[in-house]
Amino acid sequence: MPTETTRERLRRVLIDALPPTQTEKYKEDRLKAIASVAQTLALSVSGLGVITPFFTASGFNWKTALFALLAGTALESASLLLLAYIPYPAPQEDQPHG
């Protein structure tokens, strides 16, 4: 009966534990999901900081509203930056248009 060396055993465990290599589609889907979360957070921060004070008794605070708008803008910019990292193939000019 052959015995496994420690290196072979470790290699087998790592192959089972680590995720498979990512394709471009997986990377694209993950970037889109993270960008979607950032956009949702941007809307939430803006809504909580700007819109909600109009409907509560606490009153409107310009500093809080300005901070909420800046935070929402930063989150939206981050989501657009993530979407910019998605590689799209260049259009081919050789094919006729139907």
Residue-wise pLDDT for 38-78, tens only, equals 999 999 998 888 888 878 877 788 888 899 999 999 999 99
For position 86, what pLDDT does the model report?
Answer: 83
31 is a domain residue:
no
50 is a domain residue:
yes
Q: Which residue has the higher pLDDT, 28 or 2?
A: 28
Helix segments in the chain, DSSP class H? 6-17, 24-46, 52-55, 62-84
For position 1, what pLDDT does the model report?
Answer: 45
CB 85 within 8 A of CB 45: no
For position 55, what pLDDT does the model report?
Answer: 83
48 is a domain residue:
yes
For position 71, what pLDDT does the model report?
Answer: 93
2 is a domain residue:
no
Kindly indicate the confidence band of residue 14, based on its pLDDT and cuts at 50, 70 and 90. Answer: confident
98 is a domain residue:
no
10 is a domain residue:
no
For position 78, what pLDDT does the model report?
Answer: 92
- Number of domains present in the structure of the chain: 1
Residue span of the structural domain in which 74 resides: 44-87
39 is a domain residue:
no
97 is a domain residue:
no
